[in-house]
Structures are given as C-alpha cells and as structure tokens.
Chain A
Amino acid sequence: MQVGVLDYLIIAIYFVFVLGIGVVLKKQMVSSEDFFLSGRSIPSWITGLAFISANLGAIEVMGMAANGAEYGIMTAHFYWVGAIPAMVFLALFMMPFYYGSRVRSVPEYLKLRFNEPTRAFNALSFALMTVLMSGINMYAMALVFKLLLNWSMTASILVSAGVVLAYTILGGLTSSIYNEVLQFFLIVFGLLPLTLIGLANGGGWQGLIGHLPKGFGHLWSQAGGTANPMGIDWLGLVSGLGFVLSFGYWCTDFLVIQRALAAESLSAAQRTPLIAAFPKVFFPLLTVVPGMLALSLIPALGSNTTNYSYNMALPLLLSQYYPSGMLGVGLTAMLASFMSGMAGNITAFNTVWTYDIYQSYIAPARSDRHYLWMGRVATAAGILVSIGTAYLVMGFPSIMDYMQMIFSFFNAPLFATFLLGMFWKRTTPWAAFWGLVTGTVSAGVHFALTHFGMLTYSSVMAGNFWRATMAWLICFSVTFALSFVTKPRPVEDLQGLVWGLGGDTPLIREVWYKRPAVLASMVIVMTLVANVVLW
C-alpha cells in the first residue's frame, strides 16, 4: 500500500483543527470547574456524541473489528445486549443521583454515599485503570502506523501523546469533548465507505455470511449451548456481558459519566447516554461488519503473525479498498479514534487525581487556581505514565485480553457496590468497602487460576464473562451480608443519593422528543428489531 503526500496532508489538516480547538478554548479555562467539568454548560447533543466517542477508542474500532473476524455477528451482543440496555438504565435510574448530587466524580459519589476509604479505594483503582487503558490506545495506534506508514512504534506513541497532551492541557475537558465530537464524525465518514463497498462487492449480507464459517451470521440461534463462534451460551452472555460487564462499564466508569456531568442540566445529562445510544445501535455496521468482511477477503487473517492477527482486520481492509486520498481519511479516522480514547482516559484521570486524591489527601484547602494548575500537571503526568503502559501492553497476546482483564478487576465489582448503594438504603459504608475489596481480589484470583490453567473455558471471552459474573456476585454477596452486621448511615444523610429518598433537583418538563423515557423507549425498540432481524 502506498501512502502519498495527499494522505499526509489530510492527517496534517486534522492535527491543525484538533490543536486549534484547544487554543481557542484555552482562554475560557478560568476555574477548576471549567477545566474539569466544562463549567457544566455543554448542550446534550455534544455531550451525547462525546459520551460515545470517548468509548470509541482502539477497543471499539480495532478490537470490535477483530472480534467480528473471530466470532462473527455475535460480537454485536457487545452493543445490543451489552451497551444499550446499560446506557438506558444509566440515563433513567442512575443519572439523577450522579447529576443531582452535584458530585464532580464517581469516587466523590462513593464518599457521599459511603465513606472516605471506599472513595480512596475506587479513586486509586480508577486512576490506575485509566492510565492502563490510555496505553492501549497508544499501543494500538503505534501498531497500525507501523504497518501502514512504516513509522517506528516509539515515533507513533510520541506523536499521539504530544498532540493529546497539547489539546487537553490547553482546553481541559471542554477541549477533549469538542475534539471527541469532531472525531466521532471523522470516524463515521472514514469507515462507512468500507462497509458499503465491502457489502456491495461481497453480494450483500447473504453473500457475506455465505463466505464465512457456520453461525457467523446469527446472534441467538446457536446460543442455546456453547457450540457457537463465541463458545458461550445465552446465560453466560446475558449475565456476564449483558448485565455485569456492560452495566459495570457504562454505569460506573467515570470516563463516560464525566461527559454527562458536563451537561447543562439534569435533563440534558439524562439525554446524554440516550443520544449516544442511537448511533450505538448502528455501530456494528462500522466495526463488526468490516471485521467479517476482512475475514472473507483475507484468508490468512487470524494467523499468529502480527501483520495478520485479528487486530489488523480493519487496517488491512482499509489498505485493500482505499486509494490515496480516502486512505488519508481512513487513517485520520483511526487516528481520531485512538486519540479520543486516550484523551477520554486522560481527562478522567486528571479529574480523579486532582479532586479525589490530591485535594482530598495530599493538599487540601488550596486555592482554585492551584487545583487548576495541578489538573494540567496531572494531564502531563498521566500521559507520561500512559506511554509506559503502552510498552506494557506489547507483552500481552491481544488488546482484548489486556482490556478484559482490567475491566473484570475494577468495573464488575464496582457495579454491585453501586447497585446496592443507590437502590438499598440499608447498605452500610464498611460493607461497601469490604465488598469492593473482596470482589476485586476475587477477580485477581480467578484471573490467576485461569492464567495458570487451573480453570479452563471454551474461549478466552467465555472466561472473561464468567470472571466478571463471579466478581460481581462476590462483591454483591459480601456487601449484602455485611450490611446486616455493620452500622448504616442515618437516612437524613442519604437524601438525593439513594432511590426513594428524593433530591432537591427539580425536573424540568421538556417537549416530548426530549424526554428521557421517550428516547429510551425508541432506542430499546430499535435494538429489539436488530436482535430479531439477525436472530
């Protein structure tokens, strides 16, 4: 494949706009709330698209295409069983507590609802998780640019880190959110022609699945047992992916919640995940289907060599179809996805570090200007640590292995803590703390047992789903049991933090098409239709 001057020109123009947005927004970053929460002033269409785009990093784009090539359309379960129900639940049931309590971060909610140790545990584990995840995006980008542009891994990592550092340090969360929306459109316009051309050349959907192994074209028809491409039955899918992993990620991960907290009102914050859910219904067309197309076109895909691993499905398809010019657009789309994933993690990291660790335990009662300065320092430090973790990822066989390990450790047990904390007022602070600790440790033990062959599953994915389910169950059970033998917080302290105990944020009556319940119903119907059509 020949990358020409035109392709480099398109990439350069994109860099100019990304940096320009940071420069324009710099003068508006006056207080720490401007820098970390965008002054809670962003319209819901922007926070909604940023919500989806912050998640649209290497995992979503390269990882889902890789899974599409490996498991077929069953990969769409990540969207239609996993993400969308969780996003609807977040909008309708959890966002009123996050936004209504005026917390600045997810760990801060845990402090208000439970105690300082629970907040500290979550803040530290989240800070660690974000820099590990940010490293994934750098590594994935380096992998693609080495293959397509012949850049060295180090050069790719340094260029992407430098650009993200520049625009997040200048414009904080607003700059990150604005660039995520820009990147969302670039990703859609950069990848859509791949699916259209691929399907047209392959004889449409029926032609495509005719070229693929049996079962690659169905979502549920073979999920009665484990004899399907993913090697997992419907119960494992629904409990591990549909409930624990997805709800754990979408409902508790500050990376995405932070986008909703930047919205201009509670109603806009509730609409944020719902607006994101609409494009999410169609995203398998941009990620999963290209992976399946790559498998039908490139028989060597899935071999153990780096250049033909499943992770390379999308870049290989790009090089197959795009001429110089469109190739620049496609490369810019991939670059945009890696940078939005990286920036999302870094802005979440700098907020949690500054508010939940630095301000709470290291330097309390300093001026707002000082915390604004610390936010910028944390941005630079977070990116430096991410560069280190990018090299750490290189030691793992696949991006997905690495990511699922991280999620099952941190997100799965945290969702049990939130579920009990938000919906059961009897949940006590120390029960939540010990539940979270035992859930996280048990995920580590399960990972070790699987890694050393003492526990085996029919696929790596099945192991991930069952580990998440187990960590969630242990956290839930320990928290539930200990809540009966430890002291709960007085009910008056829980106002606006627990379901049924009210809050003081009045809901504004919106026109029908802006109401969260209406939007939620529409997106659920669309998702059901997708499941039935591809049953």
Chain B
Amino acid sequence: MLDLRMPIGCLFLIIGTILLTWGCAHPVLTPCGGLQVNLNATWGSVMGTFGLLMSLLAWREKSRS
C-alpha cells in the first residue's frame, strides 16, 4: 500500500519551495501585530519543513522494510 506520508511530503515540499522562492524574489509585506511579515517566504518555509519531515518519515519506513 502507498505510504501516504510520501505524497503529503512531496506536495508540501513543492508548494513550500515555490512560496519561499517567490516570497524572496517578490517580497510583499503583510502587517502582523507591530511587524511587517513576508508571508509567502515565512509560511513557505514552514510548509516546506513540514513536507521535508513527512518525506523523511516515509523514506525511513521504506528503508526499514
């Protein structure tokens, strides 16, 4: 059976990388409390990290079995 963590990981890694790259290349600042946040870059890195974690968990399971 397909390890679901693999497609989830890949999807989040791809979307996260796109957002991070786009956010760095075309920064748009969103007010957040007293700060100005580059939402695309910040949240892109969060999504990318989550995707990487899921992919690593799936890869570890595969190499174990």
Q: Do A and B share a complex? A: yes
CA distance A52 to B11 in the complex (A): 21
Q: Which residues of A contact B50 (CB under 8 A)?
A: 185, 189
> For window 12-59 of chain B, which residues contact chain A by CB distance below 8 Å?
12, 14-15, 18-19, 22-23, 28, 30-33, 37, 39-40, 43-44, 46-47, 50
Chain A: residues with Cβ within 8 Å of the partner, total of 32
A20 at the interface (CB under 8 A from B): yes
Q: Which of A293-328 contact B (CB under 8 A)?
A: 321-326
Q: Is A197 an interface residue (CB 8 A)?
A: yes
Q: Would you call B31 and A10 a contact (CB within 8 A)?
A: no
Contact of A6 among B10, B22, B47 (CB under 8 A): B22
Chain A residue numbers with a CB within 8 Å of B14 are 13
Given A189-B50, A193-B43, A323-B40, the answer on whether A178 and B18 have CB atoms closer than 8 Å is no
B19 near A178 with CB under 8 A, answer: no
Question: Across the interface, which residues of A come within 8 angstroms of B33, CB to CB?
Answer: 200-201
Taking A17-B11, A201-B32, A323-B28 as contacts, is the C-beta distance between A182 and B43 under 8 angstroms? no
Given contacts A24-B2, A321-B30, A329-B43, contact A17 B19 (CB under 8 A): no
How far apart are the CA atoms of A298 and B8 in the complex, in Å? 35
Within 8 A of B (CB), among A179-200: 181-182, 185-186, 189, 193, 196-197, 200
- Closest chain A residue to B19, Cβ basis: A325
What DSSP secondary structure best describes chain B's contact surface? helix
Residues of B contacting A189 in the complex (Cβ-Cβ under 8 angstroms): 12, 43, 46-47, 50
A residues in contact with B4, CB < 8 Å? 46, 178, 181-182
Asked if A200 contacts B11 (CB within 8 A), the reply is: no
Chain A interface main SS type: helix
- Residues B1 and A41 in contact, CB atoms below 8 Å apart: yes
A323 partner, pick from B11, B39, B46, beta carbons under 8 A: B39
Q: CB-CB < 8 A to B10: which residues of A?
A: 17
Indicate whether A326 sits within 8 Å of B40 (C-beta atoms), given known contacts A9-B18, A201-B32, A321-B30: yes
- Whether A197 and B12, one on each chain, are in contact in the complex, defined by CB atoms closer than 8 angstroms, is no
Find out whether the CB atom of A325 lies under 8 angstroms from the CB atom of B32: no
Q: Chain B residue with minimal CB distance to A16?
A: B11
Tell yes or no: A14 within 8 A of B by CB: yes
Nearest-neighbour CB distance to chain A for B34, whole angstroms, equals 8
Contact with B along A1-25 (1 / 0, CB 8 A): 0000010011001100100110011
Most buried by B among A6, A321, A326: A326
Instruction: Contact check, B11 vs A13: say whether CB atoms are below 8 A apart.
Output: yes
Residues of chain B lying within 8 A (CB to CB) of residue A25: 2
What's the minimum C-beta distance from B47 to chain A, rounded to whole angstroms? 6
Q: How far is the CB of A56 from chain B (nearest CB, A)?
A: 16
Given A9-B18, A322-B39, A325-B40, CB of A182 within 8 Å of CB of B32 = no
CB distance from B13 to the nearest CB of A (A): 11
**Ordered nearest first, which 4 A-B pairs have the shortest CB separation?**
A200-B33, A323-B28, A325-B40, A17-B11
Residues of B within 8 A of A (CB): 1-2, 4, 7-8, 10-12, 14-15, 18-19, 22-23, 28, 30-33, 37, 39-40, 43-44, 46-47, 50
Q: Other than A24-B2, A189-B46, give 7 A-B pairs with Cβ distance below 8 A.
A: A10-B15, A17-B11, A174-B1, A181-B4, A181-B8, A182-B4, A323-B40
